[in-house]
Amino acid sequence: MNMIKFAICDDEPFMAEEIYNRLCKRLEDKRFGPYCIDCFTNGRSLLESGRDFDLIFLDIQMERPDGMETARMLRQRGSGSLFVFVTVLKECVFDAFEVQAYDYLVKPLDDDRFKRTMDRALRSLEQRTAQSMIIRKGTAYEVVPLSKIVYFEVQGRKIFAHLRDGKTIDYYDKLTELERRVDRRFFRCHRSYLVNLDYIRGCKAGQVLLSQGDAIPVSRLREEDLTQALLDYMKERNL
């Protein structure tokens, strides 16, 4: 599983600490990992961090930008984070729908409600990370289902993700790091290529033939391993 990143944004230190402790306890109880937690004292510092988070706890009543304004700006940037608002303002629950909030917790925190919210959120995050990957470009990022990626190609310091609809997304990364983050459907067929086994239709003359009609190189020393990887993958899927 990829590293799951949590953020807590609250200008009350004691509340930020309470959320942090509750979150750590729930993650330990669920044996969930790997993960990291970052804390911010206001919306501005969260926005200026430029970092991507999977789930953000947001206090609403903060100095401007308050929690709701911060959430709106993050959504405008293309953020796909799960937002959990933590506030005393019950009447703001309707505003939370505008920014596609995941949940809304009222202070003082109820232990059972917090656990239920976290259990649902963790299931969502597990499903998301298992089936998708986050591609970051500058301060924006895009969540791309792995099933839509035909192959990855490296050129210099850039990775090019070739999608089944013909679209290509380029971003900065290392193929070795990328290989650790994707699942077993992807195979390193060449030093510059990582291919999705679902789209392979054959291998001929040093090339992998893909269902879209494309062909990418396969290293001579990797041809036998590719064949075995395909056989193992087909057995797993009962094809």
- The Cα diameter of the chain in Å comes to 67
209's tokens: 């033939």
Task: State the DSSP code for 92.
Answer: G
- The confidence band for 238, taking pLDDT boundaries of 50, 70 and 90, is very low
pLDDT score for 24: 95
Element (H, E) at 112: helix 111-131
pLDDT score for 48: 95
- Cα 65 to Cα 234: distance, rounded to the nearest angstrom: 51
151's tokens: 């192959």
- The confidence band for 237, taking pLDDT boundaries of 50, 70 and 90, is low
Mean pLDDT of 20-32: 91
Report whether 182 contacts 175 (CB < 8 A).
no
Please state, as a whole number, how many other Cβ atoms lie within 10 Å of the Cβ of residue 56.
Answer: 24
What is the DSSP secondary-structure string of 203-225?
Answer: EETTEEEETTS-EEE--GGGHHH
pLDDT score for 15: 95
181's tokens: 């983050």
φ, ψ for residue 33 (rounded to 5)? 175, 170
- Cα 239 to Cα 227: distance, rounded to the nearest angstrom: 15
Mean pLDDT of 102-127: 88
Residue pLDDT, tens place only, 30-80: 888 788 999 999 999 999 998 889 899 999 988 999 999 999 999 887 777
Mean pLDDT of 72-89: 85
Mean pLDDT of 120-149: 79
Residue pLDDT, tens place only, 147-200: 889 999 999 999 999 998 889 999 988 888 888 888 888 999 999 999 999 888
Pairing of strands 35-40, 4-9: parallel
Please state, as a whole number, how many other Cβ atoms lie within 10 Å of the Cβ of residue 205.
Answer: 7
